[in-house]
Structures are given as C-alpha cells and as structure tokens.
C-alpha cells in the first residue's frame, strides 16, 4: 500500500525527498502582498510615493514623446518642432512616448529572458545527467 506522500507511476514509486512548503494564511496570495516602493529604481520621497508615481506615469511618457517629436520627426529643428507641438495635443504626445517606453521595456524583458536562458544552458552543460 502506498503512503500518502508517495506517487506511483506503473511499477515505479516516487516519494519526495523534501517536504513541501505550505503558505501561511496571511500573505499567501500574490495579490495581497505588500508593495515596497523603496526598492524601485525611481526616486520616491517618503510619504509622497503615490504622488511621485503619478508624476512619473504622466511625465516620463510625455517627455519621451517630446524627445521623439523633436529628434525624429522634426530632425532637431526648433521651428518645425514648435509648429508640431502647437498642432499636437498633450494626450497624443503622451501616447507616443508611452508606446516607445512600452516597446523598450518589452525589448529589455526579452533580452533578460534570453540572457537568463543562455546562463542556465551554460550551467547545464557542466552537469552530468543523473537518473533521479
């Protein structure tokens, strides 16, 4: 008869070597965990974290959109940039910057995933295969 912690596949019995870690009642769910904004690369003044987060959410995409319009669309010419800036609204410039930042973040995530898989692949070559 199998014990409660053993699993049977055909004629092979597997029992875990380590006991599973059970999550405690408090903080067991991902969505209920506390968020610490001091661990982010952006500066958040103590007590004003939500205000700074809002400012960053509005200003970073807008400034990125302005840089895109100045350097790429108007080729760095101040007169053309001013005429473009009069014709375009705040939300259009913000949306352009938001899309640029989102693309850069996605590219960074893809680069991190590729470098992580390459490091794990290199570590795996040095290990000899062992039957568990």
pLDDT in tens, 67-118: 998 998 888 888 888 888 787 788 999 999 999 999 999 999 999 999 888 8
End-to-end alpha carbon distance in the chain: 22
For residues 75 and 43, the answer to whether their CB atoms sit within 8 Å is no
Task: Round to whole Å and give the CA distance between 20 and 1.
Answer: 22
pLDDT in tens, 6-43: 555 555 555 555 555 555 555 457 677 777 766 766 67
Cα→Cα distances 66→6, 37, 119, Å: 62, 27, 38
- Looking at the predicted structure, is the pLDDT value of residue 3 above 70? no
Predicted pLDDT of residue 89: 86
Averaged pLDDT for residues 60-72: 92
Predicted pLDDT of residue 101: 95
User: Could you tell me which of 33, 56, 58 has the C-alpha nearest to residue 45?
Assistant: 56
- Looking at the predicted structure, is the pLDDT value of residue 55 above 90? no
CB atoms within 10 A of CB 117: 10
Which are the contacts of 60, defined by CB distance < 8 A and separation ≥ 6? 97, 101
Locate the domains of the chain by residue range.
42-124
Identify the residue whose tokens are 């680069």. Answer: 111
């Amino acid at each position: 008869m199998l014990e409660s912690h053993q699993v049977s596949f055909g004629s092979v019995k597997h029992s875990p070597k380590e006991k599973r870690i059970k999550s405690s009642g408090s903080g067991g769910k991902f969505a209920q965990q506390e968020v610490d904004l001091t661990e982010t690369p952006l500066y958040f003044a103590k007590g004003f974290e939500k205000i700074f987060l809002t400012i960053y959410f509005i200003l970073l995409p807008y400034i990125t959109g302005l840089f895109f319009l100045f350097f790429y669309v108007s080729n760095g010419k101040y007169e053309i940039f001013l005429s473009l800036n009069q014709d375009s609204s705040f939300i259009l410039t913000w949306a352009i910057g938001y899309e640029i930042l989102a693309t850069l973040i996605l590219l960074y995530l893809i680069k991190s995933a590729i470098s992580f898989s390459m490091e794990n692949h290199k570590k795996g070559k040095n290990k000899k295969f062992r039957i568990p």
